[in-house]
């Protein structure tokens, strides 16, 4: 990046509204977010959002593309990386003794939170807004399919929620043990005595859009967003099908997750694999065979 580009990027981030949009896009990276969803999540008017994303695009920090009638925005990770490199390029030049303590501290944190994934049982948390269907599906599937390798949890960001009866019916029909399932709030897993998470997945866009405090231990995070079956409309059969499809998609993604050699992959490779899984959909059984 040239100095003018760096100045433009920093100027774009200097505005609180643009910074909020950028942070939301960064949380959803590498995926793209519809303009309407950004505006709703941040409480912005459409014309205000247009001004913000236009400034981020001009500075090179964000990209846009049209998908039907929607415009999708995404953070440009390459340009962000170049900006970060520019900011630290001259750090302590000629005075290494100034940077050494900071570098040592950063390495200690890296070792604590992102060291090698040893062959052990991993804790996995699935987050949604309500913890009534999608995150409950994910918890139940991983608890059954990953028993002995993974310990599954789920939670919602809303203060209170209940298990959706249709979701419970799907799990019963497919042979899952539902005796220990309950709706939980995310605060239950942010206490000092809570289990330390190795993986944290958001399974709905609304939860991913929320700005949450960092998780202790720096777990690997990914977004596995999908439509909410609770909001499905139509006949009783069509609504029931939405729950079945949500279950199938999550089970398909869980199969991909369980096939990963977690204990041998480095963090960057594992993150890429998890991001790719989050973009996958279950095969259409109607077209199979």
Please write the tens of the pLDDT for every residue from 198-210. Answer: 999 999 888 777 7
Three-state DSSP at 172 gives helix
Of 217, 164, 172, 227, nearest to 192 (Cα)? 217
Domain boundaries, the chain: 3-78, 122-287
Contact 225, 279 (CB under 8 A): no
Residue 112: its pLDDT value, please? Answer: 47
To the query of whether residue 204 is one of the catalytic residues in this protein, the response is yes
Residue 101: its pLDDT value, please? Answer: 61
Residue 155 CB burial class (10 angstroms; 0-12, 13-18, ≥19): buried
Question: Which CATH fold would you assign to the domain 122-287?
Answer: Rossmann fold (3.40.50)
Residue 279: its pLDDT value, please? Answer: 82
Contact 261, 282 (CB under 8 A): no
To the query of whether residue 99 is one of the catalytic residues in this protein, the response is no
Residue 111: its pLDDT value, please? Answer: 46
Give the chain's residues under pLDDT 70.
1-3, 88-119, 211-213, 284-289
CA distance 131 to 40: 21
CA distance 100 to 269: 28
CA distance 197 to 243: 27
- What pTM does this model have? 0.70
How do strand 70-75 and strand 33-34 relate by DSSP bridges? antiparallel
CATH number attached to the domain at 3-78: 1.10.10.10
CB atoms within 10 A of CB 259: 10
pLDDT digits (tens, 9 = 90+) for 6-51: 888 888 888 888 888 888 888 778 888 888 888 887 888 988 988 9
CA distance 239 to 265: 39
To the query of whether residue 212 is one of the catalytic residues in this protein, the response is yes
Three-state DSSP at 143 gives helix
CB atoms within 10 A of CB 90: 8
Contact 174, 122 (CB under 8 A): no
| Active-site residue, selected from the candidate residues 91, 92, 99, 128 | 128
CB atoms within 10 A of CB 32: 18
Residue 103: its pLDDT value, please? Answer: 52
Q: In what order do the strands lie in the sheet containing 70-75?
A: 33-34, 70-75, 62-67
How do strand 122-128 and strand 199-202 relate by DSSP bridges? parallel
Of 144, 143, 140, nearest to 132 (Cα)? 140
In order, the DSSP letters of 32-74 are -EEHHHHHHHHT--HHHHHHHHHHHHHTTSEEEEEETTEEEEE
| Active-site residue, selected from the candidate residues 91, 92, 99, 204 | 204
Contact 57, 21 (CB under 8 A): no
Element housing 244 (H / E)? helix 236-258
| Active-site residue, selected from the candidate residues 91, 92, 99, 212 | 212
**How many residues are recorded in the chain?**
289
């Amino acid at each position: 990046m040239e100095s003018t580009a760096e100045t433009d990027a920093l100027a774009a981030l200097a505005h609180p509204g643009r910074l909020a949009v950028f942070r939301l896009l960064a949380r959803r990276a590498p995926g793209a977010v519809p303009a309407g969803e950004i505006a709703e999540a941040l409480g912005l008017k459409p014309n205000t959002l247009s001004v913000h994303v236009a400034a981020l695009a001009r500075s090179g920090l964000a990209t846009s593309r049209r998908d039907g009638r929607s415009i999708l925005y995404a953070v440009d990770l390459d340009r962000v990386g170049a900006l970060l490199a520019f900011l630290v390029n001259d750090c302590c030049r000629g005075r290494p003794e100034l940077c050494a303590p900071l570098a040592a501290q950063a390495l200690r944190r890296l070792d604590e939170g992102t060291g090698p994934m040893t062959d052990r049982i991993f804790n996995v948390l699935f987050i949604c807004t309500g913890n009534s269907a999608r995150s409950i599906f994910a918890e139940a599937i991983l608890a059954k399919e990953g028993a002995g390798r993974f310990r599954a949890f789920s939670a919602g960001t809303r203060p209170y929620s209940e298990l959706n009866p249709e979701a419970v019916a799907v799990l019963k029909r497919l042979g899952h043990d539902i005796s220990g399932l309950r709706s939980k709030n995310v605060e239950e897993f942010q206490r000092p005595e809570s289990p330390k998470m190795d993986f944290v997945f958001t399974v709905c866009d609304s939860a991913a859009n929320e700005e949450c405090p960092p998780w202790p231990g720096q777990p690997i995070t990914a977004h596995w967003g999908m439509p909410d079956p609770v909001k499905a409309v139509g006949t009783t059969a069509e609504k029931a099908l939405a729950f079945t499809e949500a279950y199938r998609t999550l089970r398909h993604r869980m199969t991909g997750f369980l096939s990963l050699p977690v204990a041998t992959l480095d963090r960057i490779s594992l993150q890429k694999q998890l991001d790719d899984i989050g973009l996958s959909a279950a095969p259409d059984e109607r077209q199979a065979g």
